[in-house]
Copies of this chain bind each other. A is one copy, B any other.
């Protein structure tokens, strides 16, 4: 009944407030993905919630996958966050990660992906890989020129282990909510994450490539 009205109004206001629409779409996307999981979310449902047309979303974001990635907080300024002294990269990763998760963990797309991938949604697992690869590329861009030879040798593995550590923390603190991680003050979590990421990335005893039989 309101179909025609809904399909015209956003187009008219888009020219006046494109940033407002973009923000509304991203917020509706985060909530819908969080509530329904990745696979069951449709662009149509997001459009309805954001009060815009389906066409406006596809023009701005092309696909559900791209909209999802755009809705991940921190993705847009990932390079800015990680830029700086390689030695303190773990501090910056831990700080940005905890700050972001504490802001709105319930609707955080990383939580959505972990939940969806755990329910065997292959699309979610692929997206998780895509997100991890984006982070990994950003970490590598800071570390590679400065990495000691021994570390460069298995940098990809170390970056992947950072990713899996952060997924474990997300799971324990925000999904299963196991103590003492669930109630730990954010500052203390940041301290622990920093020291652990530092060891995962930098300790000087990489695993042998060809372990003895």
Contact = CB atoms under 8 A, between A and B. Distances in A.
Interface string A131-174: 01000000000000000000000001100110111111101110
Which of A178, A184, A185, A200 has the largest number of chain B CB atoms within 10 A?
A178
Contacts of A175: 117-118, 125
Given A167-B171, A196-B199, A200-B196, A160 B132 contact: no
A199 B178 CA distance: 21
Nearest to A187: B211
Say whether chain A's binding surface is mostly helix, strand, loop, or mixed: helix
Given A161-B196, A188-B211, A119 B128 contact: no
B185 A161 contact: no
Contacts of A169: 164, 168
A208 interface: yes
B203 A181 contact: no
Contacts of A207: 188, 191-192, 195
The list of the 4 closest CB pairs from A to B, nearest first, reads A168-B168, A118-B118, A191-B207, A199-B199
